[in-house]
A and B are shown apart, each in its own frame.
Chain A
Amino acid sequence: MQTRLQEMKQSALAQISQVADGAQLQELRVKYLGKKGELTELLRGMGSLSPEERPVVGQLVNEVRSALEEAFAGKQAALEEAQLAAKLASQSVDVTLPGRPIPAGTMHPLSRIIEEIEDIFIGLGFDIAEGPEVELDHFNFEMLNLPKDHPARDMQDSFYVTEEILMRTHTSPVQARTMLKKEGKTPVKIICPGKVYRRDDDDATHSHQFTQIEGLVVDKGIRMSDLKGTLLTFARQMFGPNQQVRLRPSFFPFTEPSAEVDLQCFKCGGEGCRVCKQTGWIEILGSGMVHPRVLEMAGYDPQEVSGFAFGMGVERIAMLKYGVEDIRHFYTNDVRFLKQFNRS
């Protein structure tokens, strides 16, 4: 009996180790440990044993059973592990294949620059004012101290619709409109982004339609030094914390004194390069103290209040910032151009 038990154990363990899949293992389990299995059959033969032999054999049976159970469990785990490994192996993907396409659009480079500038000035307490693109001569010129026959009208040849109505040549009429609307109240702090139109032949550096951003501050006690400080703050936020601004005397009919504003070249940082024509500076803004006649016409007393105004070309900033060599790219909308502006 004991010998048979030992033989059975040996043969069972050998068979278990040979098993290749779960079904076979289950078959073996039934064969040895099932209700009608061999071990059970042997146990039935226990009755014929002597009382002395019984505990010894009984213990041996238990030992064999637990040895077999352990072997079955071990084998089961091994099989499952192998199965999982096989499954994982079969599931692996080529991680270098491209992912499913998710469409992602882009903001127009001019909109990007405009929003960036808007956000900076909103932070400085400015509102965003807008006005019509088709404008009265009165607002486009006369309210800005450019009466008919003024020589400076030469500077901006215009698209007229009628004698009194034209495509605005700059965003400055929004200044006049905003001040009139405020009816003499202070402070006025606005920037006005928008499209403007001039009679220029389209080429790499000229466009009959382009974009400006105008700024205006009117309040008691506004000084030219405030203009300088405001522009410096803007320049540092927009172009980097070490930016410098430089003002040069200039002329605009609607400001007095007037200034061209240069920024340190953001290509070379002021060292001198092709972009800044070796000067280290780039002309980027026109500005000045609001002309007393402009204040007066818009209902403000130049003895009481003063103001400053500035204006810049969005295309110029975009061209410098992104190195765009042809202004027409902004308006032909080649998707290969647009799609490059996909990062923040």
Chain B
Amino acid sequence: MKVSYQWLSEYVDLHDITPYELAEKLTRSGIEVDAVEPCNAGVSQVVVGYVKEKSKHPDADRLNVCIVDAGQGEDLQIVCGAPNVAQGQKVPVALIGAKLPGDLHIKRSKLRGVESQGMICSAKELGLNDKLLAKDQQEGIMVLPEDAEVGMDAVSYLGMDDYVLELGLTPNRSDCLSMLGVAYEVAAILGREVILPEIAVVENGEDNPVTVEIEAEDECYRYVGRHFTNAVIKSSPQWMKNRLMAAGIRPINNVVDVTNYVMLEYGQPLHAFDAAMVKDRSIVVRLAEEGEKLVTLDDQERELDSQTLLIADREKGLAIAGVMGGANSEITPETKEIILEAAWFTPQTVRRTSRKLGMRTEGCVRWEKGVDQARVQEAGERAAYLIQQLSGATVSKGQATATVREPKAAAVSVTLSKINQHLGTALSAADVTPIFDRLQFPYEQNGEEWAVTVPTRRGDITLPEDLVEEVARLYGYDNIPTTLPEGMTTQGQLTYEQKIRRTIRRHLIGAGLNEAISYALLHPEKAEEVAGLHEIAAKPIPLAMPMSEEHSVLRISLIPSLLQTVSYNKNRQNHNVSIFELGRVFLSTEEKLTQLPEERLYLAGALTGQWLPTNWMGQTQAVDFYLLKGLVESLFASLGITGVEYRAQANLAGMHPGRTAEAWVADRRLGYFGQVHPATEKAHDLAETYVFQFDVEELTKAAAPVGHYNQLPKYPAITRDLALVVNRDLPAYALESVIRKAAGDLLESLTLFDVYTGERIATDKKSMAFSLVFRHSDRTLQDEEVQQVTQAVVEALRTETGAELRM
């Protein structure tokens, strides 16, 4: 809502408060003022002038030489290039020394040899918004109405000495979508009276011939029709145009302008019909037929449905109620007879239709937020008065009225103790009562209780708490004390899962990974590129109405977005990337959701390029499978996850069939890690990229916090190294498990310290060297014991895996 400061000051005395002070006060008490804009964009010394003579410039075809009376004592000679300048016009004249927007200074000058003592201005040159100007004022010089007084300051004549306050209204304060609503608010803040607009309709015509019938009683509660004859349609007076333009509305003609003016004044949208086009002067408010068509004022043919509320006569539709009038009954320069509509339509019906048709006029905005039902008639009468004043129309006797329901003012009570308990204040009744007075809320006071009759303009107030807020904001939020809750003290803490999450984050950051956060909404083709962890998700869940395909389905795997991140970085020459993300995936087996999807927190990461930055020692370490596995192992260690089995997995979508492993603990799969499938890498134009993805709930279940420590050993250990020759495709894990089983409890640790393939060994074989550390916790081990155990290990390896000792 754009509020003209000068206009507002007609309803509330503002003589001692600047627009900026007013804005601050409004903002601090609940109506946020987004901006205060001066209407004058930098104009000074521009006056109204009268073009007495116009003649052609002797040396320039396109220039005219005008003699202008600008009230300066002597007439001015001004050279003007606009084609529309003519003798007898009133025009804005920038005098010598005038300033115009864009830092333009008017100086005495000669144009092709003829002296020019100023400039005749166009509307644009004065800084007026040309979108709001009538078409005939968008080009050439600005022609002012004949009643403009010669010599008068154009700044004040054009209302440019005004300021506009732009309100950023919250949805509950639609009462401030009107000048009077704002006036009540300002009056409450300042403790002043509201001066209501003048209404003095003279019924100087015949009986009102209009009939009104409401068929759609659930959509329209009230309809009032006024009838006028002998209207003269013309341009509105400048003061009205100024105000409409300040509010952002383009002036059209006196009658249409009045409907808009009163809409701004009362918040009540109105409509005027050319009565000659209304069959039998009979108005019917009904729902449209399915498929019924109406050409609206913007010359578009609209197809209506059976829920559209229509204003019609007995033959045809005339207007879409609350949304836009029809072209068939538009006010034109030829209109003489008028029907003025003041009605009340339900917010839902207008909201629905305006959405359906994609039309959101200033009227719609007000209807949707709720119009004050109690002021329908008053607004109509105010408009009737102004139409009579501005068009000279004759007003027929009486109003044609149909009423389905009368508005009811809400009764809400509040007590002083409720107010103080809720706010933490120590107000007395004498503090509260004047606040209701200032708000002009009628009430009955019973000791420390107020029974308030809430005016219908404040439909947002229905509960005692709403009254508490009114008291609080007018008392001033700044004056509310500062305390802390006094109830039972509580001990806040992280849950176990939340702690695990922080451990994971800290560990991976410490290990050198950067945390990333990506979008949960993906392109459908990307979403399934790399497998998730839970096959129950048949398909990623699609949004009903996405804004773009790029973000149209919910992710089932974190890796696609991480690959996008890697690719984004690569395109910016960041070739070394190591990132991880903790984020949710959304899983459902349903084709169309009937219940919420399962949300699971996944941990995923992506690594590519060099792990260590280039350095002078020539130490490089490209990211590879075993670096990745090292990270995974260290993460498990930090969570206390033990007994992990790593299984090769050749069948995961988007993953390299020979370089992917799953991590299992007993029969639970924690997740997987490995290289991205070369085809997927190629599709993203990526270098070799490694990823991991785990289910955080599974990690949490497998995790074990630090428990009892193990006593430090008192007896020495004995180490034996075994170099084994085995088939090349035998996994290390197979050897390890045989060794552990055969070695039994004496084996303290087992380390693989060498893997060799090459010339010195058969091509289908490899050598693996293990270091076995034996220790007994209660005594010193004997060489012979260890020898025996080692022998048993070698024997077991030979029989179970075919391993031979390497000589």
On A, residues with C-beta under 8 Å from B are: 97-98, 100-108, 110-111, 115, 118, 121-128, 132-136, 149-152, 154-155, 159-163, 165, 167, 186-187, 189, 195, 197, 199, 201, 208-209, 217, 219-226, 228-230, 232-233, 246-251, 256-260, 289, 291-293, 306, 330-336, 338-339
Alpha-carbon separation in the docked complex, A257 to B461 (Å): 11
Question: What are 5 inter-chain pairs, A to B, with CB distance below 8 A?
Answer: A105-B515, A121-B492, A226-B486, A230-B484, A333-B568
- Residue B257 lies at the interface, judged by CB distance under 8 Å to chain A: no
A233 partner residues in chain B, CB cutoff 8 A: 484
Say whether B473 contacts A333, CB under 8 Å.
no
- Residue B369 lies at the interface, judged by CB distance under 8 Å to chain A: yes
Alpha-carbon separation in the docked complex, A259 to B541 (Å): 37
Task: State how many angstroms separate the Cβ of B394 from the closest Cβ of chain A.
Answer: 41
> Contacts A228-B481, A249-B469: A333 and B518 contacting too (C-beta < 8 A)?
yes
Say whether A224 contacts B485, CB under 8 Å.
no
Task: State how many angstroms separate the Cβ of B551 from the closest Cβ of chain A.
Answer: 6
> Contacts A115-B502, A224-B422: A246 and B478 contacting too (C-beta < 8 A)?
yes
Q: Which of A167, A230, A256, A257 contacts B485 (CB 8 A)?
A: A230
- CB-CB nearest in chain B for A258: B469
- CB-CB nearest in chain B for A261: B477
Say whether B546 contacts A159, CB under 8 Å.
yes
Within 8 A of A (CB), among B306-360: 347-348, 351
Task: State how many angstroms separate the Cβ of A193 from the closest Cβ of chain B.
Answer: 10
- CB-CB nearest in chain B for A200: B547
B465 partner residues in chain A, CB cutoff 8 A: 256-257, 289, 291-292
Say whether A338 contacts B514, CB under 8 Å.
yes
**Known contacts A135-B596, A162-B594, A333-B517, then 6 further A-B pairs from the complex at CB < 8 Å, ordered by chain A residue:** A101-B613, A149-B348, A195-B584, A224-B472, A230-B484, A335-B577
B173 partner residues in chain A, CB cutoff 8 A: 251
Say whether B477 contacts A136, CB under 8 Å.
no
> Contacts A220-B487, A224-B422: A251 and B568 contacting too (C-beta < 8 A)?
no
Say whether A333 contacts B597, CB under 8 Å.
no
Say whether A257 contacts B473, CB under 8 Å.
yes
- Residue B425 lies at the interface, judged by CB distance under 8 Å to chain A: yes
Alpha-carbon separation in the docked complex, A250 to B611 (Å): 52
- Residue B615 lies at the interface, judged by CB distance under 8 Å to chain A: yes
Say whether A154 contacts B515, CB under 8 Å.
no
A256 partner residues in chain B, CB cutoff 8 A: 463, 465-466, 468-469
- CB-CB nearest in chain A for B24: A279
The 7 closest A-B pairs by CB, nearest first: A103-B512, A225-B424, A249-B30, A223-B424, A251-B170, A257-B469, A249-B473
Alpha-carbon separation in the docked complex, A90 to B554 (Å): 64
Alpha-carbon separation in the docked complex, A111 to B506 (Å): 11
**Binary contact readout B156-183 vs A (1 if CB under 8 angstroms, 0 otherwise):** 0000000000000011111000000000
Task: State how many angstroms separate the Cβ of A190 from the closest Cβ of chain B.
Answer: 9
Task: State how many angstroms separate the Cβ of A148 from the closest Cβ of chain B.
Answer: 10
Alpha-carbon separation in the docked complex, A104 to B512 (Å): 4
Q: Which of A115, A132, A229 contacts B484 (CB 8 A)?
A: A229
B30 partner residues in chain A, CB cutoff 8 A: 248-251
Say whether A151 contacts B578, CB under 8 Å.
no
How many pairs of A and B residues are in contact by the CB < 8 Å rule? 258
- CB-CB nearest in chain A for B554: A134
- CB-CB nearest in chain B for A123: B492
A258 partner residues in chain B, CB cutoff 8 A: 469
Q: Which of A189, A208, A250 contacts B521 (CB 8 A)?
A: A208
Task: State how many angstroms separate the Cβ of A145 from the closest Cβ of chain B.
Answer: 11
B491 partner residues in chain A, CB cutoff 8 A: 125
Q: Which of A101, A159, A331 contacts B543 (CB 8 A)?
A: A159
Alpha-carbon separation in the docked complex, A151 to B355 (Å): 13
Task: State how many angstroms separate the Cβ of B233 from the closest Cβ of chain A.
Answer: 36
Say whether A105 contacts B511, CB under 8 Å.
yes
Say whether A100 contacts B541, CB under 8 Å.
no
Alpha-carbon separation in the docked complex, A252 to B224 (Å): 35
Tell which of A105, A151, A259, A291 has the most Cβ of chain B within 10 Å. A105
Say whether B498 contacts A152, CB under 8 Å.
no
- CB-CB nearest in chain B for A124: B492
Tell which of B489, B568, B593, B596 has the most Cβ of chain A within 10 Å. B596
Task: State how many angstroms separate the Cβ of B355 from the closest Cβ of chain A.
Answer: 10
- CB-CB nearest in chain B for A220: B487
Secondary structure dominating the interface of A? mixed
- CB-CB nearest in chain A for B489: A125
Alpha-carbon separation in the docked complex, A126 to B484 (Å): 13
> Contacts A161-B544, A339-B514: A125 and B492 contacting too (C-beta < 8 A)?
yes
Alpha-carbon separation in the docked complex, A256 to B469 (Å): 7
Q: Which of A128, A186, A195, A259 contacts B498 (CB 8 A)?
A: A128
Alpha-carbon separation in the docked complex, A100 to B613 (Å): 9
On B, residues with C-beta under 8 Å from A are: 27-30, 32, 170-174, 347-348, 351, 368-370, 421-425, 463, 465-466, 468-469, 472-473, 477-478, 480-495, 498, 502, 505, 508-521, 541-547, 551, 554, 565, 568-569, 572, 574, 576-579, 584, 586, 592-594, 596-597, 599, 611-613, 615-617, 619
A106 partner residues in chain B, CB cutoff 8 A: 509, 514-515
Q: Which of B425, B521, B599 contacts A197 (CB 8 A)?
A: B521
Alpha-carbon separation in the docked complex, A16 to B628 (Å): 64
Say whether A134 contacts B518, CB under 8 Å.
no
Say whether B596 contacts A132, CB under 8 Å.
yes
Say whether B487 contacts A165, CB under 8 Å.
no
Alpha-carbon separation in the docked complex, A56 to B482 (Å): 106
- CB-CB nearest in chain B for A131: B599
Say whether A98 contacts B616, CB under 8 Å.
yes
Q: Which of B171, B486, B554, B596 contacts A221 (CB 8 A)?
A: B486
Say whether B596 contacts A134, CB under 8 Å.
yes
Say whether A224 contacts B423, CB under 8 Å.
yes
B592 partner residues in chain A, CB cutoff 8 A: 162
Say whether A103 contacts B568, CB under 8 Å.
no
Say whether A136 contacts B596, CB under 8 Å.
yes
A248 partner residues in chain B, CB cutoff 8 A: 27-28, 30, 32, 477
A293 partner residues in chain B, CB cutoff 8 A: 463
Say whether B171 contacts A247, CB under 8 Å.
no
Task: State how many angstroms separate the Cβ of B806 from the closest Cβ of chain A.
Answer: 34
Task: State how many angstroms separate the Cβ of B491 from the closest Cβ of chain A.
Answer: 6
A220 partner residues in chain B, CB cutoff 8 A: 487
Task: State how many angstroms separate the Cβ of A264 from the closest Cβ of chain B.
Answer: 14
Alpha-carbon separation in the docked complex, A278 to B94 (Å): 35
Tell which of B480, B487, B489, B554 has the most Cβ of chain A within 10 Å. B487
Say whether B170 contacts A250, CB under 8 Å.
yes
Say whether A187 contacts B487, CB under 8 Å.
yes
Say whether A259 contacts B572, CB under 8 Å.
no
Alpha-carbon separation in the docked complex, A186 to B489 (Å): 11
A101 partner residues in chain B, CB cutoff 8 A: 612-613, 615, 619
Alpha-carbon separation in the docked complex, A270 to B594 (Å): 51
Say whether B482 contacts A332, CB under 8 Å.
no
Say whether B516 contacts A333, CB under 8 Å.
yes
- CB-CB nearest in chain B for A219: B487
Say whether B617 contacts A100, CB under 8 Å.
yes
Say whether A103 contacts B612, CB under 8 Å.
yes
Say whether A251 contacts B171, CB under 8 Å.
yes
Say whether B512 contacts A257, CB under 8 Å.
no
Alpha-carbon separation in the docked complex, A75 to B487 (Å): 85
Say whether A151 contacts B369, CB under 8 Å.
yes
A217 partner residues in chain B, CB cutoff 8 A: 485
Say whether A209 contacts B520, CB under 8 Å.
yes
Task: State how many angstroms separate the Cβ of B689 from the closest Cβ of chain A.
Answer: 14
Alpha-carbon separation in the docked complex, A92 to B429 (Å): 86
Task: State how many angstroms separate the Cβ of A149 from the closest Cβ of chain B.
Answer: 6
Task: State how many angstroms separate the Cβ of B459 from the closest Cβ of chain A.
Answer: 11
Say whether B421 contacts A334, CB under 8 Å.
no
Tell which of A159, A257, A306 has the most Cβ of chain B within 10 Å. A257
Alpha-carbon separation in the docked complex, A258 to B544 (Å): 33
Alpha-carbon separation in the docked complex, A98 to B173 (Å): 64
Alpha-carbon separation in the docked complex, A339 to B512 (Å): 10
- CB-CB nearest in chain B for A135: B596
Say whether A134 contacts B484, CB under 8 Å.
no
Say whether B421 contacts A221, CB under 8 Å.
yes
- CB-CB nearest in chain B for A245: B482
